Structure 1
């Protein structure tokens, strides 16, 4: 890792953290409505793993997808406008926080249903395999999805059909309010994937370079062999499941213990200690991020609501050939 690598990874994590903190502030001010699931604490996973992908690869995420959208290249202006419900948003204001989408960047959501993204990822990978395209579809999901039938069906099909899917399990230990140990009898999730003959890795999800290395290894394997790969990123969310969550299911001491392993602070300290980054680099990243957030909020504030006359647009595919 050199200076440019370090600066890029730190910038990615800081941009995500500051955007999420601003979203929490905007939600409290009723600028953002509906559900809001924040990624604070998990930044190393997205920042590290997404750097292993190419522009032609696809990304499928969950309702906690703001980081993935941003680091995939969806402009922060477009993301904030979508959260505000404005038509300048990436989903024209119709999706909100849980349904960010940008087909041009091959970012396919934003899925509100637990495990819903896994079959979608298998379908995208199947299309690439049929067309002979050497692409990877990265599918992000929480450990709660492992208990769903779609998880098992998707891994099984990906192996049987030899599909290029990178299954990225963001294990933050709590499926909404249910602790992993109360949900699954086998808490080593790599064992679940290995049961379907999927190669696996488990990695410290609070270490951005470890996340990047694991994703690079997995992606190289997929491009070489064509089949799937499963990575369990062992991470932790510092905030509640959503803004509505009273967070009665975990002890505050536990949260504070995990905060001592803040991925941004740990990486910053490491880079400064190794001489990869200096205080001026860190300050420049923070200043640039503040400007980006200020511009994004202003863009969203100035955005327009979709005209009522357009509300039925794109609800159904137009009939063709005389058939409904």
Structure 2
């Protein structure tokens, strides 16, 4: 309960700060990317199971069986501590944000607006209402394979503020509690949700990560060689959560080069979980829009070919976004 209350308080604090200056860092970019991708999804048809060959229809029905059996679609998005680390102060949108400002607050604000926007075409990552008792939860009804289901999407972010200096200083207690909450939220999602999407840093295989970055001592450089690649803290926590009797049917690891970093160990631990990954070190554009496309596909019950297309509706997504174990 304490973590839930903390999350609401942090959201309200962050929202009031954003309102005072009009926007979070990178929020406008996330907003444009999301709306442009939703426009592409609007034109995409939804699968008709009866029109598929029997073998493909059977694989599609099997993939959605565990998702739909309880009568509700439960999707959870975990926004990692998404620091923009350049080694020097970041200047953006006409102001200085200091060292390594966080982008996950802007991503949350943009996703929230997109989910609450009205639907004008075939896309389903829209038309949600905010749960009156939970500012991080969004609800709507969707039709999947001819049946109406209530759908729920939860979205949580990792940074107490956009500013690294504050998160390590005057807001350090709040940041530590926020990180602890996110570690627990992600682990529980991996065990209980119908689909989980992590959007954040891979930390060269040390992620998923919900903490401020660990730097090389005395330098403004993330410590990959001495910490993340050696300790693998996020990977260990993720595999531990996936080692229990219950595992999410679909996992999106929307981070740089996540296929090489995570896929083999995730599939070994959770062989029946379908995994969506990236193939290279990317800008945020590809992993962000693929998150929207993947969730939209689930909300429609898309099958193999159309699901894959929903992830890859831009030239870069076609190059860098893939999935394994989904409909095989």
TM-score w.r.t. structure 2 length? 0.31
Higher share in strand: 2
Higher relative contact order (CA 8 A, sep 6+): 1
TM-score w.r.t. structure 1 length? 0.31
